[in-house]
Amino acid sequence: MVGCEDWQSLRNLLYTPNEENWARLCDLFASWTRGAGLDLALSYAREHLSHWPAILCRSVPSWKDALLGEEPLHPLWPFVKMLDLGGCHVTDAELNALIQYTDLSQLHYLDLSDNLLTRDGPRYLSSVYAVDLPELRYLNLNSHHSAPANRIGTAGLQELLRHPMMTRLTHLYLYNNDIGDVGIRGLLGSPRIANLTHLNLGANAVGRLSASVLAHAPHLSKLTHLNLSQTFIGTQGAVTIANSPHLRALRSLDLHASRISAAGAEAIAQSAHLTKLEKLSLCSNPLSEKGAVALSQASHLVGLQELRLGSTQLSNHGLQALAQSPWLQGVRVLWLPNNDLDDRGLLSLIQSPFLRKVEVLGLAHNRLSADGVMALLSSSLGARLRSLDLMGNQLGDEGAMRLRAFEPLPKLRRLDLRMNGLSSSTRETLRQTSLLQHIDRCLLD
């Protein structure tokens, strides 16, 4: 039975769109007695949910069996706009069953990341049984882990390109899917993806030829976010991308571990086309001091808010150049782990007259001593930080005990002090300090 209290709860939940209220709506309708009362409640919900943001109206992982035809569908399924099956071990056969037994036509978002799909998965999506998916704008097939892992390959990508939804997609994520250079070139050269704003092709066989196709594709002028991390584009590919007039809209560019030298960083820094970049990752590329100096002189990167240069052979001199750059004064996230930085480089960062907006600072696995860390925490930069990663430095027990004298930093919410040679007794003492007790997440072990 359903009483007045349930109807009042329904009204209250529908009035304020948020994730928590959607979850409570799912619970409420799951216990609602089927019949005329349920139909009336669903009709009432339809009027309000039509105004909710699509990303809030998402499936629940426990619905998987129902979606495959093994159980009755949840009453709210017709209002679901985001189907999230990420990491649910979905196989090709299960995706085929989903397509055949469940109406997916209302979906805006489809997340199939970290599953077990092969070339057959996209083939089923493009089969005669599949609906057009007229509202779909977001498709995620990323594979971040070795198991489970999607591996649609070049053949699967070619099947995917045939589906009508490709002409409407704005977000396409294909990270780590065993796609060869021929398949990537076919995708990038296709005008069917002209509406894409977000594209992730990282950890696939993207080479220099693919980078050239990308750079010479006028139909990709809407791209704002591009991920080519862990690919083979090399310095030549980076130069080609930097010189492309068709990529003027890019706001985020991830070229992590893509075999780029200092010359590639120089091309990006000097590009007259990449003027809208807000996020740039060049981690795990041998940029050296020369690359850092080039970036410090990048007047076109004045809008940059996030700069990631971990594992780039960054030296103290390179960091000093970045710290003296007036073009980087908008940077809020500065990520510099696994470099050759010591207290001298850190001091130049602390004293920088331009890097006054940094809120997230990554300095893991460098050569910072307790003196450098104390100077950072005592500075105006330290007072602004929300997140600080000092993992794998040289703090030691004696240096760590000096943290007891610090009052809580007003904005700091995350601090990583792992792998700093701290004994168990020192770690336990630190947990009781005023500084660490006011931090939401402090990593010591």
pLDDT in tens, 158-181: 999 999 999 999 999 999 999 999
Which pLDDT band holds residue 389 (cuts at 50, 70, 90)?
A: very high
Q: Which of the pair, 146 or 329, is modelled with greater confidence?
A: 329
Verify that 67 and 81 share a domain, yes or no.
Answer: yes
Tokens encoding 401: 């005990």
Verify that 67 and 154 share a domain, yes or no.
Answer: yes
Verify that 22 and 125 share a domain, yes or no.
Answer: no
Q: Report, as an integer, the average pLDDT of 376-401.
A: 95
At residue 61, the pLDDT reads 84
At residue 129, the pLDDT reads 54
- Report CA-CA distances (Å) from 421 to 118, 342, 391, 441: 45, 17, 10, 19
Tell me how many degrees the CA angle 300-302-306 measures, rounded to the nearest 5: 115
| Range with lowest mean pLDDT among 19-28, 143-152, 367-376 | 143-152
Q: Which of the pair, 13 or 66, is modelled with greater confidence?
A: 13
Helix, strand, or coil here: 416?
A: strand
Verify that 123 and 154 share a domain, yes or no.
Answer: yes
Verify that 71 and 162 share a domain, yes or no.
Answer: yes
Average pLDDT, the chain: 94
Which pLDDT band holds residue 256 (cuts at 50, 70, 90)?
A: very high
Tokens encoding 253: 């560019």
**Residue 304 half-sphere exposure, CB side, CA atoms within 13 Å?**
30
> Rounded to an integer, what is the distance from CA 277 to the centroid of its chain?
16
pLDDT at 1 over 50: no
Contact status, residue 274 vs residue 244, Cβ threshold 8 Å: no
**166 found inside a domain:** yes
At residue 69, the pLDDT reads 79
Verify that 3 and 70 share a domain, yes or no.
Answer: no
Which pLDDT band holds residue 392 (cuts at 50, 70, 90)?
A: very high
Which pLDDT band holds residue 149 (cuts at 50, 70, 90)?
A: confident
Residues whose CB falls within 8 Å of the CB of residue 381, separated by 6 or more in sequence, listed in order: 349, 350, 352, 355, 358, 361
Verify that 76 and 149 share a domain, yes or no.
Answer: yes
Determine the Cα–Cα distance for residues 117 and 102; give it in Å rounded to an integer: 18
pLDDT at 125 over 90: no
What is the torsional sign of CA 256, 262, 265, 271? negative
Residues whose CB falls within 8 Å of the CB of residue 31, separated by 6 or more in sequence, listed in order: none
pLDDT at 320 over 60: yes
Residue written as token pair 């490709």: 166
Short-list 408, 409, 426, CA closest to 417 = 426
Verify that 24 and 102 share a domain, yes or no.
Answer: no
Q: Which of the pair, 340 or 223, is modelled with greater confidence?
A: 223
Determine the Cα–Cα distance for residues 107 and 96; give it in Å rounded to an integer: 17
**248 found inside a domain:** no
Q: Over pLDDT 70: what percentage of the chain?
A: 98
Q: Report, as an integer, the average pLDDT of 372-388.
A: 96
**164 found inside a domain:** yes
Short-list 300, 311, 356, 360, CA closest to 336 = 311
At residue 313, the pLDDT reads 97
**149 found inside a domain:** yes
Last residue of a domain, one of 139, 171, 203: 171
At residue 2, the pLDDT reads 53
Whole-model pTM above 0.85? yes
Burial 284-299 (b: 16+ CB within 10 A, else e): bbebbbebbbbbbebe
Residue written as token pair 């089927």: 34
Verify that 67 and 38 share a domain, yes or no.
Answer: no
Contact status, residue 143 vs residue 151, Cβ threshold 8 Å: yes
Q: Report, as an integer, the average pLDDT of 129-135.
A: 77
Which pLDDT band holds residue 369 (cuts at 50, 70, 90)?
A: very high
Last residue of a domain, one of 171, 200, 233: 171
Verify that 63 and 131 share a domain, yes or no.
Answer: yes
pLDDT at 224 over 50: yes
At residue 70, the pLDDT reads 78
Q: In DSSP terms, which residues pair with 252 in a beta bridge?
A: 225, 279
Number of domains in the chain: 2
At residue 229, the pLDDT reads 98
> Rounded to an integer, what is the distance from CA 428 to the centroid of its chain?
34
Which pLDDT band holds residue 130 (cuts at 50, 70, 90)?
A: low
**95 found inside a domain:** yes
At residue 441, the pLDDT reads 93
Contact status, residue 202 vs residue 230, Cβ threshold 8 Å: yes
**406 found inside a domain:** no
**Residue 97 half-sphere exposure, CB side, CA atoms within 13 Å?**
13
Verify that 45 and 79 share a domain, yes or no.
Answer: no
pLDDT at 85 over 70: yes
**405 found inside a domain:** no
Short-list 121, 110, 129, 127, CA closest to 169 = 110
Last residue of a domain, one of 171, 195, 218: 171
65: domain range? 54-171
Q: How many CB atoms lie within 10 A of CB 440?
A: 10
Provide the CATH number for the domain around residue 90: 3.80.10.10
Which pLDDT band holds residue 66 (cuts at 50, 70, 90)?
A: confident
| Range with lowest mean pLDDT among 144-153, 179-188, 274-283, 371-380 | 144-153
Verify that 67 and 151 share a domain, yes or no.
Answer: yes
Q: Euclidean distance between the first and final Cα of the chain, in Å? A: 52
**230 found inside a domain:** no
